[in-house]
Structure 1
Amino acid sequence: MSDERREVEDSNAEVFQAMQVQLPEPEQAPADTGRGIGTSTLRKEDGKLVTGQARFIDDITLPGMHHLAFVRSPYAHAEIRGVDAAAALELPGVVAVFTNDDLGFESGVPTASNPTGDGKQPERPPLARGSVRMVGEPVAVVVAETRYAAADGAAAVEVDYESLPSVVDVEKAVADGAPLVHEDIEDNLSCSIRHETDGFDAAVAGAEVVVEQRIVNQRVAPVPIEPRGVVAQFVPASQEVTLYTSTQVPHYVRTFTAVVTGISEAKVRVIAPEVGGGFGSKLQTYAEEFVAVAASRALGGTPVKWIETRYEHMVATVHGRDQVQYVKLYAREDGTIVGLDLHVLANMGAYLQLLAASIPHLTLFMATGLYDIQNYRCRVDCVFTNTTPVDAVRGAGRPEATHLIERTLDILARRLGVDRLELRRKNFIKEFPYSSASGLSYDSGDYEKTLARALELTAGWEPDDGDGRRRGIGYSTWVEICGLAPSAVTSAIGIGAPGWESSTLRLHPTGKATVITGTSPHGQGHATTW
């Protein structure tokens, strides 16, 4: 190793060491009670995963199986003037090309969310019909003997598009004269969710300090290691279908497959094999699942497989966040928060997915965070744009709430010239149970104690910019809704499905018992904990 390289590596090592926080040794776990409490347990599901014996969607192969590839829109908004599949059908291995009208769907892709009861929910055909409203929207599906032939076939399908005006920015979408995403919705607004505590205006009128801030919570893509995928086989003789899908919600998929395709729900079997990550993006029912079932039926029972490409994932799988928040925080000179006034523009994308407007509704519920804010007003406008739909991703509406209140408290601390942590301590909820201004019940908590513990763990670590690098410690508080369904909150945020769970207990003559639950694991270790 050269002296120059050694010096660089030594320097990097010193910088890395300087950035470390020395954590204390973990406390000794309590003695084993005989029930596994306080002991380390080896995960039961890991053997097949680490030895390559687990079965994911792309490991499933059925006899005679064909492959699907989707023809997707390159336009954010366009009229479909025609679809010409002649060239594709001449390619070796291409079996069929289907559009929406070929597959006998009985409804569009469903949404289970309607928080206000009167939200505008435009139909989304599983394959575009008449026009496309986002890049990546599927227009046709190609069936071929191999995946490569299907991809070649999709590339050969010619779609005649007439480009239309589009809008991708949520603030521009609500401006006067904005292009309409759906021609029958005059203002691009799906719904407006509102909440206000009694006497809000009078309560904040005497506030000595007012902080106003526009906050952008940018759009994110979930990107699990395993993309989405589907294997479907329809059996004509019995009118039954088996659908393998990489999903977090097989029960939703089963119900909505029956609704969209017209197949009796009693004859729909959905299997979720090993799922290589979901993060909310697979907490959905997607057009491709319904198309696969319908394509197998149209082919007389030929099994079909579709595996999403990473490009498809980035344009056709749901995204998260994408809110613009206008925050107004009222306070006294001593730092006591008097009230919070919030207006959220939540980008829904071009269509409503499964939970849709219920996601920013959770932002409304959680925006007051861990703080004793008695006066609260919030308006959430759920807005259509010519973009990929936005739905549940990693926290689903609640990280957006945490970011906005924590960011605003830091601004207030600077405005008042006070320590940001002391400002938080002053406004923490201290008495429990506590009813929040958004209508939630907090059963317990000791936020000062957890903050004190965090400070203990970082004691003695200070920023050091002597080498030109600036380092520091950021602080944020966080509280989460647990046990969401079934509950009053589930109903309040407009989720049409009840969210119930069921189980079956079977006692055997041997004295053993078998418990069957509907819980679908996707990485959480259910086989071990159950």
Structure 2
Amino acid sequence: MTEPPLGAALPRREDARLLRGLGRYVEDIAVPGCLYAAFVRSPHASAVIDRIDATATRAVPGVVAVLTGADLATLAAPLRIAPPIDGLYPVEMPPLPIHAARFAGDPVAIVLAEDRAAARDGAEAVEVAWSPLAAVTSVATAAAAGAPRVDSALPSNLVSRQGYATPGLADAFPAAPRVVTARFGQQRQTHAPLEPRGCIALWDEGRAHLTMRIGTQAPHPYRTALAARLGLRESQVTIDCPDIGGAFGQKIVVLREDLAVAAAARLLRRPVRWHEGRGENLIAALHAREDTVATRAAVDDDGTILALSCEIDADFGAWCFFPANYMARVIALILPGPYRIAQYGYDVRVWLTNKAPSGPMRAPMAITSWVMDGTLDAVARALDRDPLEVRARNLLRPADLPYVTATGERYDAITPAATQDAAATAIGYAAARARQRTDDGPLLGIGLCNVVESTTYGSAFYKAAGIPGSGHEAASVRVEPSGAVIGSCGLMGSGQGYETTLAQALAAGLGAAPDDVVVQLGHTDIAPYGMGSRGARGATAGGGALFLAGQRMRAKVLAIAAAMLGLNAADALTLRDGVVLRRIDDAWQPAGLTLADIARLAYLDPLRLPPGVEPGLHVVLAYDPPAMTYSNSTHACLVEIDRATGTPRILRYVVAEDAGTRINPLVVAGQTQGATSMGLSGALMEHAAYDADGQALAGSFMDYAVARAADLPDFDLHHLDTASPATPAGIKGMAEGGTMGAIGALMNAVNDALAPVGAHLDSGPATPARIWQALRAAGAV
């Protein structure tokens, strides 16, 4: 059983400042004597750098320095991505390109000036002599015979390929009564955080110390990487994160602009700051999601899946900040989702192209659930069966758990049948199905999507995947002499409400009042080394570490309390809301001590402590969560499509989810709504488009459409709370499942509406123009 304040719907404490405009972001930090940075970027998708001439730039008033890729190569090491994974080629990236640019927007020089305007003017004055080359702008062109190589050090544009098959997969297809094929494509997208990237680098020559003020989701790994590339010890680098205005995966690793700014500050011995514009963020920061997946399902006549195979092609862009197989392989590993599929196999291919580099974006495996449930919809259509019936026939049931998937993933506390029943009931599935019609009126579609969301990413996951690294998290807890509780861990929030939920987890473990608890995040000199915020590990890893550290602190506090009360042991004592309670006659009663009383003694009167107990109250604990923990959900979407224009309108949207122990129901609801909104926005309209020459076509919010509040429906949320048996307090995590479910539910609803008239969309986005074109191709308009 969990203890209060776990489960309490406490208001987010950070909102008191953020909603009043009192947040403190990188742009809000004043640093005297700062230089401003601006970058010179390639106008070509692929081009040789013949010469960079900064003569005119150095004459611009206020310009202090210009550094090229060749200059920076003497100040910082290249990034080498070479984990020992079969089928993955090692790649290397210089701090800035020296010989060739690989995408439109590639930074090739940095200009430092006394003010922002001078830096921008200086960047415009840099003359670069280019020799443009033919660009590789799609997977098809990357794979074509004789295609130009994006990375000349590789034998082809195929940077990674991994395959897997269960022993009986090959035999299952010839023996199956039916084989159903389906195809899915997700368009290229970008994170579009409200706050674009930015940083301030301060070099202290006297201490030989770099302080980097930057919004990053993973302060300690960021520090490790930055120090290594600059040739510094980690003790010479401090990462200090202010508030972050959204990240979604774009602010995890050291990107080239950050590195160049830090190297320039060290070289020039002056603070340097950089803030990118929206256009830079849209075309030159990380992109994501450009995947195509083809599936083959061997099925019985009743729709039972006998075997499933998939082929995945991912467009990874021009440079690798992450192992190229990482996102695509996770898609393949968890693609079977919450269904009983004994025979399964995949072929994952990752390609380099002349586009902005790719990285994780909220739910890097986002296409997974649409692929699986979209395949089930294809099976239902091929067999003329109801999609809900086909899902129910294949869904895992309580009696199947614990269940080990064909790829070795273990499910132990998921409830897909229950969430599907809840979502179908809430959306009014049977009534909606009865309302569908094929006359000239609007087309009605019902979309379902069952999601299994991977959360913890413990160290064992990385070990099994052959990727160096850890999945642990560490926490520090101090109780000060006044009874104030200060916790810290290696996470950094970018909108998740960590200052509230992590304080609740710590308060529950310790037995303190939540108002007495503060959690400090984002500063590497304060927090113990942790792996940061990514995936949905914040609650499970960070919350779990703080909960366990609180429990360890509680044990010490109660041992001291027992001595103060003249008891031989603390067995009959507990701590609740900062008050020591004693069990008397099967009832808990105040013992006359508070956490503040015990803290005062521990620090200021240590001679009264029990033998062997150290003065003070300070605990540090590291927690390595299970290799993977899973939450699950079902999304149901009711869509109406205007036949004349192709415009989709969401009539109802339901989410039934099981996130285990909800630390804070208000935050869970907000995370579900936010993740679902992001998924719907991507499925409906977002597209980081390129033309045939590799020019980015979405360089502003006039071109890169993001959903507004008026574009989105109300969300009807239903919660199941099945605790995980493998994590502290039963916490599972749930920050990305909304994105996964939204893409699948929306696209399945659109295709359900189009199916009666013979139309279909096998790729997003589901814009009115694309839907209308599908209707026209089917002769329905």
For normalisation by structure 1, the TM-score amounts to: 0.89
| Overall identity of the aligned pairs, in % | 35
**Residues 109 and 286, structure 1, Cα contact 8 Å, conserved in 2:** no
1:361 and 2:326 matched: no
CA distance in 2, matches of 1:117, 1:309: 39
Of 78, 102, 114 in structure 2, the residue corresponding to residue 108 of structure 1 is: 78
1:472-511 equivalence runs, <5 A: 472-486=445-459, 488-511=460-483
CA distance in 1, matches of 2:98, 2:443: 54
C-alpha distance 444-359 of structure 1, shift in aligned 2 (>3 A): same
CA distance in 2, matches of 1:422, 1:144: 65
Give per-residue Cα distances to partners, 1:421-449, cap 9 Å, x unaligned.
10000011121000001110011223222
CA distance in 2, matches of 1:482, 1:289: 28
Q: Which amino acid aligns with 2:471?
A: G
Give per-residue Cα distances to partners, 1:82-103, cap 9 Å, x unaligned.
0011111111111111112223
User: Aligned pair count?
Assistant: 494
Of 353, 367, 370 in structure 2, the residue corresponding to residue 400 of structure 1 is: 367
Of 426, 436, 442 in structure 1, the residue corresponding to residue 393 of structure 2 is: 426
SS at match of 2:454: coil
1:30-49 equivalence runs, <5 A: 35-49=4-18
C-alpha distance 284-467 of structure 1, shift in aligned 2 (>3 A): farther
Kindly state the Cα deviation for residue 465 of structure 1 after the two structures are TM-superposed.
8.5
Kindly state the Cα deviation for residue 365 of structure 1 after the two structures are TM-superposed.
0.9
C-alpha distance 328-321 of structure 1, shift in aligned 2 (>3 A): same
SS at match of 1:88: helix
Of 257, 269, 287 in structure 1, the residue corresponding to residue 238 of structure 2 is: 269
1:310 and 2:278 matched: yes
CA distance in 1, matches of 2:480, 2:186: 54
CA distance in 2, matches of 1:210, 1:34: 51
1:141-290 equivalence runs, <5 A: 141-290=110-259
Paired position in structure 2 for 1:375: 343
SS at match of 2:444: coil
Kindly state the Cα deviation for residue 37 of structure 1 after the two structures are TM-superposed.
4.5
Q: Which amino acid aligns with 2:405?
A: S
Paired position in structure 1 for 2:379: 412
Of 47, 53, 68 in structure 2, the residue corresponding to residue 84 of structure 1 is: 53
SS at match of 2:50: strand
Of 352, 358, 363 in structure 2, the residue corresponding to residue 390 of structure 1 is: 358
Give per-residue Cα distances to partners, 1:242-285, cap 9 Å, x unaligned.
00112212212111111111122111001111000011111232
SS at match of 1:123: strand
**Residues 364 and 380, structure 1, Cα contact 8 Å, conserved in 2:** yes
SS at match of 1:450: helix
SS at match of 1:285: coil
Structure number with the bigger relative contact order (C-alpha 8 A, sep ≥ 6) is 1
SS at match of 1:135: coil
Kindly state the Cα deviation for residue 485 of structure 1 after the two structures are TM-superposed.
2.2
CA distance in 2, matches of 1:259, 1:51: 39
1:350 and 2:305 matched: no
SS at match of 1:247: coil
What is the aligned-residue RMSD (CA, Å)?
1.9
Of 84, 91, 109 in structure 2, the residue corresponding to residue 122 of structure 1 is: 91
**Residues 348 and 357, structure 1, Cα contact 8 Å, conserved in 2:** no
**Greater mean alpha carbon deviation, residues 441-450 or residues 84-93:** 441-450
SS at match of 1:478: strand
Q: Which amino acid aligns with 2:342?
A: Q
Kindly state the Cα deviation for residue 226 of structure 1 after the two structures are TM-superposed.
0.5
SS at match of 2:128: strand
SS at match of 2:374: helix
CA distance in 1, matches of 2:324, 2:373: 25
CA distance in 1, matches of 2:440, 2:12: 44
**Residues 81 and 161, structure 1, Cα contact 8 Å, conserved in 2:** yes
CA distance in 1, matches of 2:83, 2:336: 23
CA distance in 1, matches of 2:33, 2:482: 43
CA distance in 1, matches of 2:166, 2:188: 30
Give per-residue Cα distances to partners, 1:156-188, cap 9 Å, x unaligned.
101111011221101221221111111121111
CA distance in 1, matches of 2:294, 2:445: 28
Give per-residue Cα distances to partners, 1:321-358, cap 9 Å, x unaligned.
11122211111112110111111111111111135421
SS at match of 2:443: coil
Kindly state the Cα deviation for residue 204 of structure 1 after the two structures are TM-superposed.
2.7
CA distance in 2, matches of 1:205, 1:118: 29
CA distance in 1, matches of 2:3, 2:104: 56
C-alpha distance 466-44 of structure 1, shift in aligned 2 (>3 A): farther
Paired position in structure 2 for 1:448: 417
Q: Which amino acid aligns with 1:412?
A: V
C-alpha distance 50-511 of structure 1, shift in aligned 2 (>3 A): closer
Paired position in structure 2 for 1:25: none
SS at match of 1:258: helix
CA distance in 1, matches of 2:7, 2:261: 47
Paired position in structure 2 for 1:22: none
CA distance in 2, matches of 1:331, 1:212: 11
C-alpha distance 449-145 of structure 1, shift in aligned 2 (>3 A): same
C-alpha distance 511-39 of structure 1, shift in aligned 2 (>3 A): closer
Of 505, 512, 516 in structure 1, the residue corresponding to residue 488 of structure 2 is: 516
**Greater mean alpha carbon deviation, residues 223-232 or residues 496-505:** 496-505
CA distance in 2, matches of 1:42, 1:412: 45
Kindly state the Cα deviation for residue 513 of structure 1 after the two structures are TM-superposed.
4.1
CA distance in 1, matches of 2:170, 2:307: 9
CA distance in 1, matches of 2:60, 2:236: 35
